[in-house]
Structure 1
Amino acid sequence: MEVFILIGSLFLFLIIKLPIAFALGLSATLTALYLGIPTMVIAQKMVEGVKSFSLMAIPFFILAGEIMGQGGISRRLIDFSNVIVGRVRGGLAMVNILSSMFFGGISGSSVADTSSIGTIMIPMMEKQGYDKDYAVNVTITSSTQGVIIPPSHNMIIYSVAAGGVSIGKLFLGGIVPGVLLGISLMALSYFLAVKRDYPKGEKIGLKKSLEIVKDSFLGLMTAVIIMGGVIFGIFTATESAAVAAIYAFIITYFVYREVSIVEFKKVLINTLKTLSMVMAVIATSSAFAYMMAYLKVPQAITNTLIGITDNKIAILLLVNLILLMLGMIMDMAPLILIATPILLPVVTRVGVDPIQFGIIMMLNLGIGLITPPVGSTLFVGCSIAGISIEKIAKSLKPFYCMLFIYLVCLTFIPALTLWLPNFLMK
């Protein structure tokens, strides 16, 4: 009965569209009351959930992403990407994907990526003769790179939920899969562009290309600072986030100077709004996870899945299916905190490394962000383009196919994830 109250009340609250943080907190509290556990214990678990030192990196990463998004860095990344891939057929789609790859390495957020890149690229692609639904499809699917390519604050949340998995190794583990995902999407975009006869981009001269590269270099250095500092042991993840935020502030307001320092107030407000939502979800998810552990739900699910089959391939496919289905109905951060303690023991028992599973989970839940009914990135893309979700969902089929094929490769080829962290951080 207590498990039914915990899980059943959560789904009931989600069905009536109660905010996820309140749904998790209320479900945990109702279950505690039924079991006679003092509600003070729930409050204590919520506080403990946000006391982790690793979580201090999140506000700095969010702040750095907000600053760079407001300060013209998106336009510079698009121009830089245009120099590299813009001249081929369907070049604007590839520019869109490559820009998302670069911006994902700065903001670490799929939604931020779509908001910043999409507001520029979707109207531009439509003006150049691309179908509107295709422009949205490219924008939102390429933004899934943002949750894989470091720095991703969702990886930090996973690290905490997984009991302290190395953030540095997680960051390194996301680089190769993130880049290969971008290349896969560019290959698909090129195929569709040839099939639909989308236009080629204009060739950019050498002089102008060098000017664009020079102009975008300082912005791209943000990602280099973050990754280089962590990889070579100069900073912890938290310290690199703080340094990145300071660097982004200086570059945006004193070098590029496209926005006034007065606008920094708006950046701080947006950062605080995002941070408050993230931390509220982390706190209540921690209380919910405590109740699941108290009721031994993770052990029961592990035993059930292993009891169904001991075949590694079948278990991993089943775990992916569970994550995909959950990603369609729940937000990413709470799902990481809830699902990690349940599914990580299952996959480690069949020989999957926690680093690899972290990247697999990021991609699964990233796909959830572009899938109805709760795909926040999907909603943002449709809002920017002024197009219905139903139309986008239908035209996304080839992109979904590519993402699912890539997910299977990521699941069954560990070297894609583990080679780089094992090589650089032995």
Structure 2
Amino acid sequence: MGIALLLGGFLALMFLRVPIAFALGLSSLATVFYLGLPPLMIAQRMVNGLNSFTFLAVPFFILVGNIMTEGGISDRLVKLADVLVGRLRGGLAQGNVVASTMFGGISGSSVADVASIGSFLIPAMTRNGYPAGYSVAVTVTSSVQGVLIPPSQNMIFYALAAGGLPISTLFIAGYVPGFLLGLSLMVICWIMAVRHGHPTGERYETREALRVAANALVGLFTIVIIIGGILTGVFTATESAAVAVVYALLATGLFYRTLNRAAVGRIFATTLTTLAIVTAIIMTSSAFGFLLSYLRVPALLADGIFAISDNKIFVLLAINVLLLILGMLMDMGVLILILTPILLPIATKVGVDPIQFGIILILNLGIGLCTPPVGTSLLVGCGIARLPLERATKSLLPFYAAMVVVLLLVTYIPALSLTLPTWFK
């Protein structure tokens, strides 16, 4: 009955459109009263959820992403992407993917990628003869690289939920899957371009190409600070994020001169709003996760799966199917915090490394960001294009296929996630 009250209460409150943090907290509180546990336990678990040095990196990474978005870095990255791949068949679509690769390495957010890059690339692609649904599909699916290529806020959430995995190792593990995803989407773009006769982009003169590259590299150096500082041991993940904030402010304020007082005000207001939501969700999901463990939900789910088969291929396939379904229905960050304590023990029991499982989990839920009915990135992309959801979804099908292929490769070939972290130990 306790499990039914906890999970049923949460789902009922979600169905009634209660904010996720309140749904988690209220269902946890109701379950504590039903079980006769001291209510103070909920408060203690909520506080413990934030009692981590790792969590301090979250506000800094959110702030860096907002500074770069408001500071106009995205349009410079789009120009650089156009210089690099614009001459290919379907060059604007190819450039969209490459721009998302670079911007994802700064913002760490799929939604921020779509909102920033998509705001002018989707209309630009439409003006150049690409169908509106196809323009949305390319922008939305390529934005998933932002949750894999570091710095990724969702990797920090996973590290917290998994009991304190090293952020630097997770960051490095995301590179190969992230680039593999981008490459697979570029292949789909090329195939579609050849089939439908999409145009090539403009050719840049050498001097102009160098000017565009130099202009964009100032913003891209933020990635060098974050990842380089961590890999060399100069900074922890939290310290590198703080240094990156200072650099981003200097780059956008002094070099690009795109920030003013009003822009800085918007940046901090947006950051505080996002951080308040994230903090509330982490706190309440910590209490919710404790009750899941107390009620032995992970063990019961594991017993159910292993009762069917303990074959590693089957177990991972079952986890992937479950994650893809849930990713269509709920927010990514919440699912990471709730599902990690449940599914990670099952995955490790069949020999999956926790780092690899983190990449599998994040990629699964990243696909959910592109999937109706609750795919946040898809909704943002459709809003920019003023396009009905069903029209965009039809155009997404070949890109979904590519993403699922990458997901299966990451699931069943551990080296894709674990080789780079081994090199940098």
- TM interval, shorter chain, is over 0.9
1:287-302 to structure 2, matched below 5 A, reads 287-302=287-302
Say if 2:217 is the partner of 1:188: no
2:177–2:406: 8 Å Cα contact kept in structure 1?
no
Which residue is 2:390 aligned to?
390
Which residue is 2:347 aligned to?
347
Q: Which amino acid aligns with 1:51?
A: N
Which residue is 1:243 aligned to?
243
SS of 1:396's equivalent?
A: helix
Which residue is 1:373 aligned to?
373
Q: CA deviation at 1:18?
A: 1.3
Q: CA deviation at 1:307?
A: 2.1
Which residue is 2:77 aligned to?
77
1:2-401 to structure 2, matched below 5 A, reads 2-401=2-401
Q: CA deviation at 1:258?
A: 2.0
2:5–2:31: 8 Å Cα contact kept in structure 1?
yes
2:76–2:215: 8 Å Cα contact kept in structure 1?
yes
Q: CA deviation at 1:391?
A: 1.3
2:226–2:240: 8 Å Cα contact kept in structure 1?
yes
Judge which range, 411-420 or 39-48, deviates more.
39-48
Partners in 1 of 2:312 and 2:292 — Cα distance? 25
Partners in 1 of 2:152 and 2:312 — Cα distance? 28
1:24–1:288: 8 Å Cα contact kept in structure 2?
yes
Q: CA deviation at 1:42?
A: 0.7
Partners in 2 of 1:26 and 1:369 — Cα distance? 26
Relative to the length of structure 1, the TM-score reads 0.99
What is the aligned-residue identity percentage? 52
1:142–1:182: 8 Å Cα contact kept in structure 2?
yes
Q: Which amino acid aligns with 1:263?
A: A
Partners in 2 of 1:295 and 1:350 — Cα distance? 23
Which residue is 2:423 aligned to?
423
Q: Which amino acid aligns with 1:379?
A: L
Q: CA deviation at 1:52?
A: 1.2
1:253–1:261: 8 Å Cα contact kept in structure 2?
no
Q: Which amino acid aligns with 2:166?
A: S
- Deviations for 1:319-374, whole angstroms, at most 9, x for unmatched residues? 10111111111111111111111111111111111111001111000011111111
2:114–2:140: 8 Å Cα contact kept in structure 1?
yes
- Deviations for 1:162-196, whole angstroms, at most 9, x for unmatched residues? 11111111000001110111011001011001111
Partners in 1 of 2:331 and 2:285 — Cα distance? 11
Listed as ranges, the gaps of 5+ residues in structure 1 are: none
State the aligned residue count.
425
SS of 1:171's equivalent?
A: helix
Q: Which amino acid aligns with 1:196?
A: H
SS of 1:328's equivalent?
A: helix
Relative to the length of structure 2, the TM-score reads 0.99
Q: CA deviation at 1:308?
A: 1.6
- Deviations for 1:244-303, whole angstroms, at most 9, x for unmatched residues? 111001100111002324320110000011111111111111110011111111111122
SS of 1:238's equivalent?
A: helix
1:306–1:346: 8 Å Cα contact kept in structure 2?
no
Structure 1 segments of 4+ aligned residues over 4 angstroms from their partners? none
